């Protein structure tokens, strides 16, 4: 009887441990506005959404930026949507988690400045192009007790829009903050 | 009571064994990982660097031999006179001569298929879309790299590989003019280049092990 009792206790401990080990990861998702700074006193506004998987201080994150508008002295793009997938290193596992990361990505962009002649239609065309970009990011998460987390983040984006006309740098310093959901 | 001791000992032993395995070996046969990468192409025939994005899967077949299955998309600004786009899809074998804890250097060699397209600059006054040239070819690549493991599942990898294209060249010339460069995709003044087209690929990748298959 005592033996059965000990085995039951061990199974219970094992079960609790297993449950705990199942919860050593987090799913993070967030939606935010992300203003950016380009050269020549130009600013952009993007809608940012992401889905991340965090385990053992490593977060894998897929991220999308939807270009809303740009303004200033040289708003050079009429389209600049971006997709990223990469990893972040979280320095702590407490509720306050600073992190750094790198994400390779692609930009679907269209210059608003440089068009090219279509000889058939005799019209100017502004070609859209997909080009590689990279992004170095740093920020912090502050996790609440349940479901929500606050994040503040900044990133530098580098790349170049290359279509059939003059190339244009996609370089941008971007900021975002907001509330996210975590499971 | 004796039975309880046996159970407790067995549980402690098995827990210890699992912990030891997780803690000590970063690379073992049967591991499958996926990752993203960014690539810079340098020292090509144009002397112009390119920036690329890609991904890879790694399936380790032996403790000291891994395989990498990759795809890259690289674009180059040809001095403002046009754009060159390259896509690679291929595989490589990685050999680990020695493992230094978190640092694991390797020798890599493999093969890939390559698609290249050169698009000359069009302007509001000139449509050069008929001058676009492209070709498929294959290539071989070899080089050195190293993994750095942040934890037992995640690693950063840096590699340098020299890639030699085995197929036909894309014949084009960047000509310097008084108003900048001009991209000639139908050069008639030069003989076809018999040299192998080649370049160096510097790749930084992020990799995550998702399974131990055997």
Q: Is A57 part of the contact surface with chain B (CB cutoff 8 Å)?
A: yes
- For residue B98, is it within any domain? yes
Query: Which CATH number is A71's domain given?
Result: 2.40.160.20
- For residue A20, is it within any domain? no
Residue B178: per-residue pLDDT: 87
Which of A88, A116, A127 would best serve as a mutation to test chain B binding (most B beta carbons within 10 A)?
A116
Taking only the tens place, the pLDDT of each residue in B2-52 is 555 655 555 444 444 344 444 447 888 999 999 999 999 887 777 789 999
SS3 A50: strand
- For residue A132, is it within any domain? yes
- For residue B75, is it within any domain? yes
Q: Is B124 part of the contact surface with chain A (CB cutoff 8 Å)?
A: yes
Query: Which CATH number is B132's domain given?
Result: 2.40.160.20
Q: Which residues contact B17 (CB under 8 A, 6 or more apart)?
A: none
Q: What's the domain range around A85? A: 25-182
Query: What DSSP string runs through B84-148?
Result: EEEEEEEEEEEE-S--BTTEEEEEEEEEEEEEEEEEEPP-SS---GGG-EEEEEEEEEEEEEEEE
- For residue A142, is it within any domain? yes
Question: Which residue is closest to A88 within chain B, CA to CA?
Answer: B206
Residues of B in contact with A132 (CB under 8 A): 38, 51-53, 73-75
The pTM (predicted TM-score) of the whole model is: 0.83
Q: Is B34 part of the contact surface with chain A (CB cutoff 8 Å)?
A: no
Q: What's the domain range around B116? A: 29-212
Angstroms from B134 CA to nearest CA on chain A? 14
Which of B83, B102, B125, B132 would best serve as a mutation to test chain A binding (most A beta carbons within 10 A)?
B83
Record: contact A167-B38, CB cut-off 8 A = no
Report the number of distinct structural domains present in chain B. Answer: 1
Taking only the tens place, the pLDDT of each residue in B164-187 is 988 777 888 888 888 889 998 888
- For residue A141, is it within any domain? yes
Element (H, E) at A150: strand A148-161
| B 46-75: CB under 8 A from A | 51-54, 73-75
Residue A9: per-residue pLDDT: 56
Tell me the two tokens of residue B64.
């000291």
B79: left (phi over 0), alpha (psi -120 to 50) or beta: left
A1 or B97, higher pLDDT = B97
- For residue B5, is it within any domain? no
- For residue B9, is it within any domain? no
B197-212 vs B133-149, strand pairing mode: unpaired
Residues of A in contact with B121 (CB under 8 A): 116, 164-166
Taking only the tens of pLDDT, chain A with its 183 residues reads: 566 656 555 554 444 444 455 678 899 999 999 999 999 999 999 999 999 999 999 999 999 999 999 999 999 999 999 999 999 999 999 999 999 999 999 999 999 999 999 888 989 999 999 999 999 999 999 999 889 999 999 999 999 999 999 999 999 999 999 999 998
- For residue A7, is it within any domain? no
- For residue A12, is it within any domain? no
What percent of chain B shows pLDDT beyond 70? 86
- For residue B8, is it within any domain? no
Which residue in the set A118, A129, A133 is minimally distant from B127, CB to CB? A118
Residues of B in contact with A165 (CB under 8 A): 121-123
Number of neighbours of residue B191 by Cβ within 10 angstroms = 6
CA B89 – CA B91 distance, rounded (Å): 7
Q: Is A166 part of the contact surface with chain B (CB cutoff 8 Å)?
A: yes
- For residue A40, is it within any domain? yes
CA B120 – CA A159 distance, rounded (Å): 19
A42-55 vs A25-38, strand pairing mode: antiparallel
- For residue B11, is it within any domain? no
Residues of B in contact with A163 (CB under 8 A): 83, 119
Q: Which residues contact A15 (CB under 8 A, 6 or more apart)?
A: none
Residue B2: per-residue pLDDT: 57
- For residue B21, is it within any domain? no
Tell me the two tokens of residue B9.
């000992």
Q: State yes or no: ipTM above 0.90.
A: no
Q: Are A101 and A113 in contact (CB under 8 A)?
A: no
Report the number of distinct structural domains present in chain A. Answer: 1
Which residue in the set A87, A124, A134 is minimally distant from B38, CB to CB? A134
Record: contact B3-A131, CB cut-off 8 A = no
Q: Are A63 and A49 in contact (CB under 8 A)?
A: yes
């Amino acid at each position: 009887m005592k033996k059965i009792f000990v085995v039951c206790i061990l199974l219970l401990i094992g079960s609790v441990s297993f449950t705990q080990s199942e919860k050593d990861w987090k799913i993070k998702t967030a939606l935010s506005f992300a203003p950016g700074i380009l050269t020549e006193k130009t600013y952009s506004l993007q809608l940012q959404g992401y889905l991340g998987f965090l385990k053992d201080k490593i977060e894998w994150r897929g991220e999308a930026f939807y270009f809303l508008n740009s303004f200033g002295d040289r708003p050079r793009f009429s389209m600049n949507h971006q997709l990223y997938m990469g990893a972040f290193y979280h320095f702590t596992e407490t509720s306050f988690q600073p992190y750094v990361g790198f994400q390779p990505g692609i930009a679907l962009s269209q210059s608003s400045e440089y068009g090219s002649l279509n000889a058939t239609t005799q019209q100017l065309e502004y070609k859209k192009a997909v080009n590689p970009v990279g992004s170095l990011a740093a920020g912090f998460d502050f996790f609440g007790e349940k479901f929500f987390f606050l994040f503040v983040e900044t990133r530098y984006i580098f790349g170049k829009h290359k279509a059939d006309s003059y190339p244009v740098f996609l370089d941008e310093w971007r900021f975002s903050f907001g509330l996210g959901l975590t499971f | 009571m004796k039975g309880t001791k046996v159970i407790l000992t067995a549980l402690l032993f098995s827990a210890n064994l699992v912990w030891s395995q997780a803690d000590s070996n970063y690379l073992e046969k049967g591991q499958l990982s996926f990752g993203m990468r960014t690539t810079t192409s340098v020292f090509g025939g144009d002397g112009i660097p390119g920036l690329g994005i890609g991904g890879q899967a790694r399936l380790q077949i032996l403790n000291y031999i891994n395989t990498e299955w990759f795809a890259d998309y690289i674009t180059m600004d040809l001095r403002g006179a046009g754009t060159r786009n390259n896509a690679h899809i291929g595989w490589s074998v990685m050999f680990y001569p020695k493992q230094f804890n978190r640092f694991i250097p390797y020798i890599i060699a493999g093969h890939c298929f390559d698609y290249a397209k050169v698009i000359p600059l069009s302007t509001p006054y000139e449509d050069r879309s008929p001058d676009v040239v492209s070709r498929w070819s294959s290539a071989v690549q070899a080089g050195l790299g190293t993994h750095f493991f942040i934890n037992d599942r995640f690693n950063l990898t840096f590699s340098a590989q020299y890639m030699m294209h085995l197929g036909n060249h894309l014949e084009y010339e960047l000509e310097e003019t008084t108003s900048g460069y001009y991209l000639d995709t139908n050069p008639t003044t030069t003989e076809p280049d018999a040299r192998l087209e080649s370049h160096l690929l510097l790749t930084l990748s992020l990799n995550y092990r998702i399974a131990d298959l055997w």
